[in-house]
A and B are shown apart, each in its own frame.
Chain A
Amino acid sequence: MSLLLTKHPMPEQEVTARVENFDEVTLGYTLELAKAEAERCLQCKTAPCRKGCPVEVDIPAFIKKVKAGDLDSAIAKIKEVNSLPAVCGRVCPQEEQCEKYCVLAKKGEAVGIGRLERYAADTARNKGEAITAIECSAAAQKVAIIGSGPAGLTVAGDLAKKGYKVTVFEALHLPGGVLMYGIPEFRLPKDEVVQAEINNLRKLGVEIIVNAVIGSTFTVDELMEKEGFDAVFIGTGAGLPHFMEIPGENLNGVYSANEFLTRCNLMKAYRFPQSATPIHVGKRVAVVGGGNVAMDGARTALRLGAEQVSIVYRRSEKELPARLEEVHHAKEEGIEFQLLTAPTAVLGNVDGWVIGLQCVRMELGEPDASGRRRPVEAPNSEFVLDVDTVIIAIGQGPNPLVQSTTKGLKTNKKGNIIADIDNGATSKPGVFAGGDIVTGAATVILAMGAGKKAAAAIDTYLQGKKECSL
């Protein structure tokens, strides 16, 4: 049998239909497609793909089970190390991780590892997974988790399984972090996938308290000294939106991507007025940035009825940090790319509304600290993009609330919590941290990987603490 050089395509909604709705774009493999794709895996002994996965999913082993049609075993294998496979299969930048190292990628396309992972997880979920609550004894030690993004949820799941009494505190009214408020429904269904995964954690025995802002409703010190928590994990993410610091950013019609996406995803503004939160989308939208956040903002604007949407990015296509699939989908949907372009001012009318985005063209110069060639302004290249909405997606920093209210918690210059990359330990005994709050904005699977390590370290720490107190 000759080897297929390309992945089996995953069925998708037609472009013309999907830009009119918020339903998921990709529809997932069927059993036949999944088996056929699994056939492509060579079952390499050394499994180079695994080293690209931050949690080292046993990729050949689970794919072998998919190939055999034994999906229960496939999902069990994945879940040994990854508690949110339906999410990872959808949003991991596979081309940078597992699939990058697949031997097939040398000649053609890698095995569709993400697609298979998603298929296994979706099948298990649709079948209804049996989850039994883990009884924790009255003497079980208590762990507080701050933030319910992928990092916090991973720690919660791992520690609940070990018999600890776990409570997650979330500032918003729904748990999930970026998975709920940031990544759009058409990429990651909220009720069907995210809340279903979170409900599985609840079934395990994890308690989730929403509307609890740590640093205000409780401080970390209060959790430990007054509320009886033996250890704390901080997974508060990188939620603070950066602005460009250019003129006109306070005009009506300028959004941070966080606000735009939160209104749409968390607050369901796409159903306005049934859903009470409004969102403003003009006719012509510019989205500044080139990452997943920018692609999500652009594709959301399109679905909300914008006639023309452009991505404005200061480097070239090669440097776009977004997942390949997102860039591909964005192009298919008609998003324009203004590459090597940087905004210099937002222009407004007398009523305070956006009427244009002034930009300059860029050229790539010498490599900068990140190794990428630094964009420099091309002389006399100023021009105005005719837009009435601007969405800024140039990155997020750490929210300072927890750091500023916790005694003895060290942070770096950018305000990220300093934590050991191997175990999440911070400068404060009993307090661990991981995910975007430590690394800066990264990926779901890296946040989960950090959560895994922290959970193991918290377990060791609490075992020690128990012995001391005996």
Chain B
Amino acid sequence: MYKILLKQQLAPNVKLLEIEAPLIARKAQPGQFVILRMNENGERIPLTIADFNRETGTITLLFQEVGASTSELGLLNTGEFLLDLVGPLGKATHIEKIGTVVCVGGGIGIAPVYPIARGMEEAGNEVISIIGARSKDILIYEEKMAAVSNELIITTDDGSKGRKALVTEPLKELLDSDKRIRLVVAIGPVIMMKFVAETTRPYGIPTIVSLNPIMVDGTGMCGGCRVLVGNENKFACVDGPEFDGHKVDFNVLMSRQRMYKLYENEHSKYSAEKREGVCKCHSC
């Protein structure tokens, strides 16, 4: 059992949990993730390790309530427990001093970009960050990102904060004006990562993206997380989750993420009914 030491609401539908997990905190590196299960009937939910503290033995997870399982997770409170938590999983981000790095975070993806930006900065790189969200009330981690970046650019779709633009606009300007950029790291919605990769491609700037296909075990056993990278199947949980954005087939990823769309409603309806005590299944 893994204790929730802190719960915060960061934005509508975006929550943070700090969890006691000394074995994972000891090993965690930027770019890695965990898989958790709330209870006996729970799904295995993969979440990026948004932060870790080796001294206190804690890890931080940030998640967006998008469906039944993440909504149920959002109901857990400080002092309660997760049944299962395994990690750190996946390969860590390769961090070294290379010069100027642009870190792009979109929506909830800003959270996993943060430890990478911090790592890049600590390694002596100049870090330029671009963070974007639909609107200012769902923009997270502004101060944290500012603290680890030499320059921070904010964009919102509706212009309620920063520039009214998609993250790719300032990125393109940077690529045009700043010839020192060596690497771009982008995490966010698949469509954003796809367009970031398209933006950097003509400039030949290496671009790392972090993929989130549907997973089960997270150990390379099921193959459900396979993604097409450079025309080869890779298992995101062990070969990734980070890959060369110029080689990823984002369309296959987006299609595969829709595999259970039909089932999501049924699950959400069931969970809601169970919460409200109107479920008639006679077995819960």
Contact = CB atoms under 8 A, between A and B. Distances in A.
A217 B87 contact: yes
A173 interface: yes
B85 interface: yes
Contacts of B260: 278, 280
B182 interface: no
Interface centre among A181, A240, A259, A401 (most CB of B within 10 A): A259
Contacts of B85: 211
A181 B283 CA distance: 23
B24 A352 contact: no
A317 B44 CA distance: 38
Given A249-B233, A352-B255, A274 B44 contact: no
Interface string A54-70: 00000000000000000
Contact of B42 (A213, A240, A276, A399): A276
A303 to B, nearest CB: 18
B75 interface: no
Interface stretch (A15-23, A107-115, A250-258, A334-342): A250-258
Contacts of A212: 23, 86
B191 interface: no
Contacts of B157: none
B278 interface: no
Contacts of B281: 274
Contacts of B226: 243, 250
A133 interface: no
A259 B219 CA distance: 12
Interface string A210-245: 111100111000000000000000000001110100
B258 interface: yes
Interface centre among A212, A250, A280, A401 (most CB of B within 10 A): A250
Interface string B229-255: 000010000100000000000001001
Given A213-B86, A274-B284, A258 B223 contact: yes
A409 interface: no
A352 B258 contact: yes
A263 B215 CA distance: 11
A320 interface: no
A383 interface: no
B58 to A, nearest CB: 16
Contact of B263 (A216, A241, A267, A280): A280
Nearest to A348: B255
Interface in B17-40: 23-24, 27, 37
Contacts of B223: 241, 243, 256, 258-259
Interface string B146-184: 000000000000000000000000000000000000000
A210 B87 contact: no
Interface centre among A262, A273, A399, A401 (most CB of B within 10 A): A273
B220 A399 contact: yes
Interface string A170-210: 01110000000100000000000000000000000000001
Interface string B50-63: 00000000000000
Interface in A136-174: 171-173
A250 B221 contact: no
Contact of A239 (B44, B219, B255): B219
A380 interface: no
B267 to A, nearest CB: 5
Contacts of A273: 68, 263, 266-267, 269-271
A43 interface: no
A239 B228 contact: no
B84 A401 contact: no
Given A173-B37, A267-B43, A250 B86 contact: no
A268 B217 CA distance: 14
Interface string A89-109: 000000000000000000000
Contacts of A277: 43-44, 216
B41 A275 contact: yes
A280 B259 contact: yes
A240 B256 contact: no
Given A250-B226, A278-B267, A401 B86 contact: no
Contacts of A401: 219-220, 238
B89 interface: yes
A306 to B, nearest CB: 16
B222 A262 contact: yes
Nearest to B219: A171
Interface in A267-288: 267-268, 271-278, 280
Interface string B263-284: 1101101110000000001011
B105 to A, nearest CB: 25
Contacts of B283: 274
Contacts of A271: 41
B206 interface: no
Interface centre among B220, B223, B233, B266 (most CB of A within 10 A): B223
Contacts of B46: none
Contact of B224 (A216, A259, A276): A259
Contacts of A216: 27, 87-89
B263 A258 contact: no
Given A243-B223, A273-B267, A276-B42, A213 B89 contact: yes
Nearest to B269: A273
A188 B37 CA distance: 24
Interface string B186-226: 00000000000000000000000000000011011111101
A415 B42 CA distance: 33
A444 to B, nearest CB: 17
Nearest to A240: B220
B222 A241 contact: yes
Contact of A258 (B24, B88, B222, B264): B222
B266 A250 contact: no
Contacts of B238: 399, 401
Given A276-B267, A280-B263, A268 B41 contact: yes
9 contacts: A173-B86, A216-B27, A240-B221, A241-B222, A252-B256, A268-B41, A277-B216, A352-B252, A399-B221
Q: Which 8 A-B pairs have the closest CB atoms?
A: A352-B255, A259-B222, A278-B263, A273-B270, A211-B86, A256-B223, A239-B221, A276-B43
